[in-house]
Amino acid sequence: MKTRWVVTGADGMLGRDLVALLHREGELAQGLRRVDLDVTEASAVGALFARLRPEVVVNCAAWTAVDDAESHEEEALAVNGHGPANLAAACAATGTRLVQVSTDYVFGGTAGQPYREDAATEPRTAYGRTKLAGEQAVSQRLPGACYIVRTAWLYGAQRRNFVRTMIRLERERPTIEVVDDQHGQPTWTLDVAAQIIALVRAQSATGIYHATSSGHTTWCDLAREVFRLLGADPLRVKPVASSTLQRPAVRPAYTVLGHDRWAAAGIAPIQDWRQSLHYAFPALLATETGGSRPSAD
C-alpha cells in the first residue's frame, strides 16, 4: 500500500528532489511551497492535516539565509523553531511520522574528528540556534515518532548553490579565490532524498541521523574538483582564509558528520562526495549552462 507523504518547503533544492523522487517511485506525495503552507501558522498546519491526512511529513521548510539570520533571529526562529513545533504538534495529534531536516550548524565546528549523532550541540550562529530549536521542539513534542536528519553543504540541479556558482565562475573569471580553512561534506540533494525515503520505508529507529556524503574536503578543494570535471585547470582556484570574507555569521571550521546510525538501521550511508559529484555533474552542468560543455571523465 502506498504511503501518503507531505513535503513542506517543496520549492527548495532538497524539497524538489524529494518530491520528484517520491513520484518516480510511485508514492503519493504532495509538495507544498510557502505560498501553499506557512508552517509558522498553527491553524494552517492543522487545516492541512485535516485535508490531506498525511502519514509522513518531511519538513524541508527553513530560513536558510545564514548571514541574514544574524540580524533577523526572531524571524528565523519563527520558521526554523516554531514551524517544526507546529508540525510536530499536529503529527502527535494524528499519529503521523515527521522527518525534520536540520543542519551541521548546530555544532560549534571545533572538533577534530567527525561529530557523532549524539555529540553535544553548540551553535555559534543565529541560524544554528534556530535550527537547534527546531530539533528540540520536534523531539519534545513527538518522542518516538520523529527523525531528525542533519545535512550540510548541499548542492543540486535546482536553485543556486556553490557547485553551480563555480561552474559559472569558471567561464567568467581567469582565477577565483575560495576559502580553504572550512572542512565539511559536499552533499547532493538527491542523495539526501534517497536516504530519507529509505529511512522511513525501513521503519528504522527514530532519532538523529546524519545525511551527508562520506569523506570530507574544503570549499577550495571542492571548487578545484568542479574545475577538474569541467576540464579546466584546478589551480585557477586560489585558497584564502575565511577571515578575508568578513561575513556577519561565523562559519564553522570543521563540521564533518559521523554516520554510525545508518549501520544500526541497516542502511548504507551516502557514498564518497567525489563519486556523488561525478554522478550529479551532468545535471548540474545542463542546468547552469544548457549542457554547452562536456564534463571530464
Containing structural domain, residue 39: 4-160+185-215+254-271
Burial of 120 by CB count in 10 Å (0-12 exposed, 13-18 middle, 19+ buried)? exposed
By annotation, the residues acting in catalysis are 127
Determine contact, residues 103/91, Cβ cutoff 8 Å.
no
Among the listed residues 68, 88, 107, the one whose alpha carbon sits nearest the alpha carbon of residue 8? 88
Asked, for residue 142, whether it belongs to a domain, the answer is: yes
297 in a domain, yes or no? no
Q: Whole-angstrom Cα distance, residue 210 to residue 148?
A: 8
27: left (phi over 0), alpha (psi -120 to 50) or beta: beta
Which of 233, 238, 229 is closest to 273 using CA atoms? 229
- Whole-number Å distance between alpha carbons of 15 and 189: 9
Structure-block grid coordinates of residue 219:
570549499
Give a yes or no: residue 148 inside a domain.
yes
pLDDT of residue 296: 41
Average pLDDT along the chain: 95
Helix (H, G, I), strand (E, B) or coil at 24: helix
Residue 146 belongs to domain with CATH number: 3.40.50.720
Q: What is the pLDDT of residue 125?
A: 97
pLDDT of res. 294: 43
Asked whether residue 178 is domain-assigned, the answer is no
Which pLDDT score is estimated for 291?
53
- DSSP-H helix ranges across 202-293: 219-229, 260-265, 273-289
Number of domain units in the chain = 1
For residue 214, CA distances in Å to 140, 211, 259 come to 30, 9, 8
Residue-level pLDDT at 289: 80
- Which residues does 287 contact at the CB level (< 8 Å), separation at least 6? 157, 158, 164
Q: How many angstroms separate the CA atoms of 159 and 126, rounded? A: 23
Closest CA to 133 of 173, 97, 79, 177: 79
* pLDDT at res. 246: 85
Q: Is 120 among the domain residues? A: yes
Residue-wise pLDDT tens for the chain (297 aa)? 689 999 999 999 999 999 999 999 999 999 999 999 999 999 999 999 999 999 999 999 999 999 999 999 999 999 999 999 999 999 999 999 999 999 999 999 999 899 999 999 999 999 999 999 999 999 999 998 999 999 999 999 988 999 999 999 999 999 999 999 999 999 999 999 999 999 999 999 999 999 999 999 999 999 999 999 999 999 999 999 999 888 999 999 999 999 999 999 999 999 999 999 999 999 999 998 875 554 444
**Which residue(s) pair with 209 in the sheet?**
149
Taking the model in full, what pTM does it have?
A: 0.96
User: 90 lies in a domain?
Assistant: yes
Q: Would 109 be classed as within a structural domain?
A: yes
The answer to whether 27 and 18 have CB atoms below 8 angstroms apart is: no
Residue type, 67: D
The one-character DSSP state at 104 is G
Is 173 within the bounds of a domain? Answer: no
Helix 83-94 with 126-141: angle, nearest 10 deg: 10
